[in-house]
Amino acid sequence: MIPFVDLKAQYRQIRQELDEAIQSIIDRTAFIGGGAVSEFERSFSEYLGVSFTVGVGNGTDALFLALKAAGLGEGDEVLVPAMTFIATSEAVSMCGATPVFVDVDTDGLLIDLEQANRKVSERTRAIIPVHLYGQPADMDSVVEFAGTHDLAIVEDCAQSHGATFNKSVTGTIGHVGCFSFYPGKNLGAFGDGGAVVTNDEELAERVRMLANHGRLDKYNHLIEGVNSRLDALQAAILSVKLKYLEGWTEARIRNAAHYSESLEDIPEIRVPVTLPDRRHVFHLYVIRAERRDELMEYLKSHEVGVGIHYPIPIPLLEAYAYQGHNPEDFPVAAGASQEILSLPMFPELSQSDTDRVSELIRKYYHA
């Protein structure tokens, strides 16, 4: 059996360190705020090379709080790629603004700025490039585009911890970066967690305030906010794991290379393209496959864990029926959603595992 992800393998590796970190928080009974959270925020800032990190409750809230702190609200429009997880557009609606969906490019399934250009209106205030599967969007073009149209850039880095574009780390290129520490993400907590990162001190302060009932000290509420804090247990766990992130990322990249070497000559398959000037951190390893659904069933029947990210382009979900879209509005995303297949991907995957998966795919296509 080769699972899609194996969180236990990672825990086994660093069990003692994690158990001690957890126990120390319990011993201190400082569960909300306190040293463990600020310590993690400091080390995450240092890792990314950014001035400010604000720990929050989860990645969806990170996006919501970043948008809200950037002043987004009712009547505003935000450009969102059609191929992402629903959290990206949910966050836009949560702050009262409207997501405007944009198709993606064929190679990377990243936001297509030509279509974005046709969807800009006088209400457009922000763009959310999603660094999908761990591959950075073309941030040079996003920055230029946002400059032309005077838009805030809110990077969705939920899948791109440590990914770079032209040597700049995702999350630090736009105005604000939003991370998820959901357990299965490249840096994962033992529950929900997230962070907003920025070099803009005022923005960081606003996020911190909004995430903590609109206050900076105990009962001095300047505005109404929400309750969305990173808790101390998660922060302590993340501080331990952060030290290993680079090694884990290198292992993901190695695993991806092993897959691609074994699969790239199969005519029915397209292996993922790493676009120029990027470090792709392979949160997911996603192939395009002919007869995808049959291949998926074949792999499952041979005890290989696989997934589809994502089976329905976001604007075509029932939740967005009110926008009245059809697949022809997003031809690339709609086409890709029928072909994409995510293979097992996690740092501890061995080469014999990737070889076994590749061998099965080869057998399936008689390649």
By CB under 6 A, tell whether 101 contacts ligand PLP. Answer: no
- The b-or-e profile of 147-165 (16+ CB within 10 A means b, else e) is eebebbbbbbbbbbbbbbb
Q: Report which residue's Cβ sits closest to ligand PLP.
A: 59
Q: How far is the CB of 60 from ligand PLP (least distance, A)?
A: 3
By CB under 6 A, tell whether 87 contacts ligand PLP. Answer: yes
Q: How far is the CB of 193 from ligand PLP (least distance, A)?
A: 7
By CB under 6 A, tell whether 228 contacts ligand PLP. Answer: no
φ, ψ (nearest 5 deg) of residue 146: -65, -35
Segment near ligand PLP (CB under 6 A); pick from 37-45, 156-164, 315-323, 347-355? 156-164
What whole-number distance in Å separates Cα of residue 71 and Cα of residue 276? Answer: 34
Q: How far is the CB of 261 from ligand PLP (least distance, A)?
A: 27
By CB under 6 A, tell whether 346 contacts ligand PLP. Answer: no
Report CA-CA distances (Å) from 325 to 75, 258, 322. 20, 39, 8
Identity of the residue, 189 or 266, whose beta carbon is nearer to ligand PLP in the bound complex: 189
Task: Name every residue whose Cβ is closer than 8 Å to that of residue 246 and which is 6 or more positions away in sequence.
Answer: 162
Segment near ligand PLP (CB under 6 A); pick from 10-18, 152-160, 295-303, 351-359? 152-160
Angle between the N-to-C axes of helices 351-364 and 292-301, in degrees from 0 to 180, rounded to the nearest 10: 130
Lay out the site mask for ligand PLP across 191-210 (x = CB under 6 A, - = otherwise).
Answer: -x-x----------------
Q: How far is the CB of 359 from ligand PLP (least distance, A)?
A: 29
Is 124 in contact with 79 (CB distance < 8 Å)? yes
Segment near ligand PLP (CB under 6 A); pick from 9-17, 151-159, 242-250, 340-348? 151-159
Task: Name every residue whose Cβ is closer than 8 Å to that of residue 123 and which is 6 or more positions away in sequence.
Answer: 75, 76, 77, 98
What whole-number distance in Å separates Cα of residue 10 and Cα of residue 5? Answer: 10
Sheet strand arrangement including 52-56 = 52-56, 194-198, 176-180, 152-156, 124-127, 77-81, 98-102
| Tokens 């149209």, residue located | 149
Identity of the residue, 44 or 364, whose beta carbon is nearer to ligand PLP in the bound complex: 44
Identity of the residue, 127 or 361, whose beta carbon is nearer to ligand PLP in the bound complex: 127
Segment near ligand PLP (CB under 6 A); pick from 52-60, 99-107, 212-220, 269-277? 52-60
Report CA-CA distances (Å) from 354 to 3, 14, 29, 358, 361. 11, 23, 43, 6, 11
Identity of the residue, 47 or 64, whose beta carbon is nearer to ligand PLP in the bound complex: 64
By CB under 6 A, tell whether 159 contacts ligand PLP. Answer: yes
The residues of the shown chain that bind ligand PLP, judged by CB under 6 A, are 58-60, 84-85, 87-88, 130, 156, 158-159, 180, 182, 192, 194
